[in-house]
Structure formats: C-alpha cells, structure tokens
Homo-oligomer: A and B are copies of this chain.
Amino acid sequence: MKPPRDFQSLKNFILDHNETFPKRLRQVAVFALENPDEIAFGTAASIAERAAVQPSTLVRFAQSIGYGGFSDLQAVFRDRLRERGSTYEERLEALSDTFGREGGNSILSGVIAAAGTSIDSLSSTIRAEEFNESVRLLARAETLYLVAQRRSFPVTTYLAYMFGKLKIRTQLVSSPFGVEVEQMAFATKKDAALAVSFSPYASSTVDHAQVLADAGVPVISITDSAFSPLVGLSKHWFEVTENDFGGFRSLSATFALATAIAIAIGEERRVSRK
C-alpha cells in the first residue's frame, strides 16, 4: 500500500474514505484536516490530547492509510508548511534590507509586495454579508451611476467597460464640459450609485455622491477609512487599504474588489432573470 506523499492527495484520500473510517479514526481525520498545523508541530501525545483520542489511535490512523507510523504521516503535514511560499510581509521586510542597492528592480518588487499585502487584507476587511447586500442593491438598479475623480477615475472607466459587456446600463458621471450634475438629473431611487474616493477626497466626487443621495439613490462607496466623507451618505461602504510604496499606491486591491463586484452583479442578474 502506497500512502499519499503530498498534503493535497492525502486530503483527498481522507475525504474519500471518511465514510469507512471507524468512529475514533474519523475523529482523528476531522481533527487533522481542521488543524493541520497542530499535526505538523505537535507530538503524538499533545495531538492526541487535543483531539480527545489515545496516542495509539493516531498511530493506527496513520497505519490504516498505509503509513508506517504516525511520524510518516506527520512528515506530509510538515512538508506542506515547508513548501508554502514566503509572505508579502517577509518580502517587504527583505526588500527594506536591500533598498537602494538594486535600484529599479526593488521598486518593482516593492510595488508588487505592497499590492500583494493590500489584496491580502481585502479578504479580511470585506464582510461577506455586506458585500452580498451591496451587490443585490446594485443589481436591482435600472441605471448604475459611477462616481469618481482623479486617482480613482480609472476604476469607474474599468467598471463602465465591464458593465457594458454585462449589458448593464451605466452612467459614468464625468464630462469634459462640466455637465455632471445634468447627467445625474434623471436618477431616481430605482437606480443606484457606486462612488470611489480615497484620501485626499476629491470634493467633486463627494458633491456628486451627495446629489445622488439627496435624490434618494442608494449609494455604495469604496473608500479608505471610516472618516471618509462618503461614509455618511452611503447605504454600504467598503474599506480598501492600499499599502503604499514610497508614498505611491497602486490600485490593485481596489480593482480586485471592483472586478468582484461587477462579476457578482452580473451573476445576480443572471440568476434572478431566470
């Protein structure tokens, strides 16, 4: 019998055979998949205690899969941690050690690391519930008003493109002739708006969002802190913290969020149309 040598196939093996495991072995299986780090670092005794099982059961579990003993099984869990790539924090750290020596290259990797951490933190700051509610709100709108200026403007041009492909009616609140207010004149509570602004908040973005909010249009905002002037006038708002590199922020995390919103709206509309 040849036991799985990498974590992924071990995981699949366990999931496949979960039905046939006896009670205690299933208990171990569940604990192992839920606390892989514990298996990697602990001793048979410590793991057994935490899993409310005898140490001998751990050995039996390993042997029932085909390993020689518990230690063989543990090796798979250790390799998993070993092969995990380094985090962005470590990269930024390593970068600051060598900054200045390498020149352009370190600018690139610095921006990459900053973008990576920004995207990382997205998953923890965006609450699934709020995301879903916002998507539902935006999907219901007849026309979507997109409000942004200056640095955030590319986000709305991108969204306008995406929504165009998704056949969703949008109005990009932007005009070379200064007729933005007129563009918003037809907005009603049946519509919705998505506003994007980061510190220092462009005053026109806030003004436009306010006009829409006053007209009863629900506003969803993407901004960078609870102190943003957009927060007060928004039904929902998302906090995106773009890490900077030398004072410059990329829009990577904002784009990831915007893309997700657009896809989710498309999906929501597709589902509800049926």
Which residues does A use to contact B, with CB under 8 Å?
8, 37, 40-41, 78, 81-82, 84-87, 93, 102-105, 107-112, 115-116, 119-120, 122-123, 126, 128, 131-132, 135, 150-151, 153-155, 157-158, 161-162, 245-246, 248-253, 255-260, 262-264, 267-268
Interface of A is mostly: helix
B108 touches A260 (CB 8 A): yes
Cα distance, A260 to B245, chains bound together (Å): 9
Please give, as numbers and ranges, the residues of chain B lying within 8 Å of A248 by CB-CB distance. 162, 259, 262-263
B108 touches A126 (CB 8 A): yes
**What 9 pairs between A and B have smallest CB-CB spacing?**
A154-B154, A250-B259, A105-B128, A111-B260, A154-B158, A252-B252, A115-B256, A104-B132, A108-B260
Please give, as numbers and ranges, the residues of chain B lying within 8 Å of A128 by CB-CB distance. 102, 104-105, 108
Q: Smallest CB-CB separation from A90: which chain B residue?
A: B84
Greatest chain B CB density within 10 A among A157, A162, A268 is at A157
**Copy total for this chain:** 2
Please give, as numbers and ranges, the residues of chain B lying within 8 Å of A93 by CB-CB distance. 8
Q: Smallest CB-CB separation from A251: which chain B residue?
A: B255
B151 touches A264 (CB 8 A): no
How far in angstroms is the closest Cβ of chain B from A37? 5
Q: Give 19 CB contacts A-B under 8 Å.
A: A103-B132, A104-B128, A104-B131, A104-B132, A105-B131, A105-B132, A108-B123, A108-B128, A108-B131, A109-B123, A111-B260, A115-B259, A154-B157, A162-B248, A248-B262, A248-B263, A250-B255, A252-B252, A252-B253
